[in-house]
Amino acid sequence: AQTVTQSQPEMSVQEAETVTLSCTYDTSESDYYLFWYKQPPSRQMILVIRQEAYKQQNATENRFSVNFQKAAKSFSLKISDSQLGDAAMYFCAYRSHTSGTYKYIFGTGTRLKVLA
């Protein structure tokens, strides 16, 4: 069975600085998707970024980028130029690419605090 581990329950970053959130996963599959979701205090789950395992290039979305290390099964999220609005819970998630499978596995989350 696949597992997703976020070992940092809480992180803090100064406004305008850069922070990296860690995520590791365990799987025997070779093709899958990885995601980072943001959950602000409003409770709404918002997709931040996604990565297909077959793509070697790391995904980027404006100030958000990932460091995808397939061999190490690591998928970290880097937030550059942190803003107060980035304060939220961040969840790493895995989904198999196997045909007929639609099960997402979520990590336990990292709470990010942004200090003014």
Partner 1 sequence: NAGVTQTPKFQVLKTGQSMTLQCAQDMNHEYMSWYRQDPGMGLRLIHYSVGAGITDQGEVPNGYNVSRSTTEDFPLRLLSAAPSQTSVYFCASSRGAKDTQYFGPGTRLTVL
C-alpha span between 31 and 66 (Å, rounded): 18
Q: Name every residue whose Cβ is closer than 8 Å to that of residue 97 and which is 6 or more positions away in sequence.
A: 29, 31, 32, 33, 52, 53
Contact between residue 93 and residue 37 where contact means Cβ atoms under 8 Å apart: yes
Strand partners, 11: 112
| Residue 102 binding partner 1, by CB under 8 A | yes
Minimum separation from the CB atom of position 18 to partner 1 (A) = 25
> Residues 9 to 68: which contact partner 1 by CB under 8 A?
33, 42-47, 50
Minimum separation from the CB atom of position 17 to partner 1 (A) = 26
Q: How many residues does the chain have?
A: 116
| Residue 84 binding partner 1, by CB under 8 A | no
| Residue 103 binding partner 1, by CB under 8 A | yes
For binding to partner 1 (CB under 8 A), which residues are involved? Answer: 4, 6, 33, 42-47, 50, 91, 93, 97, 101-109
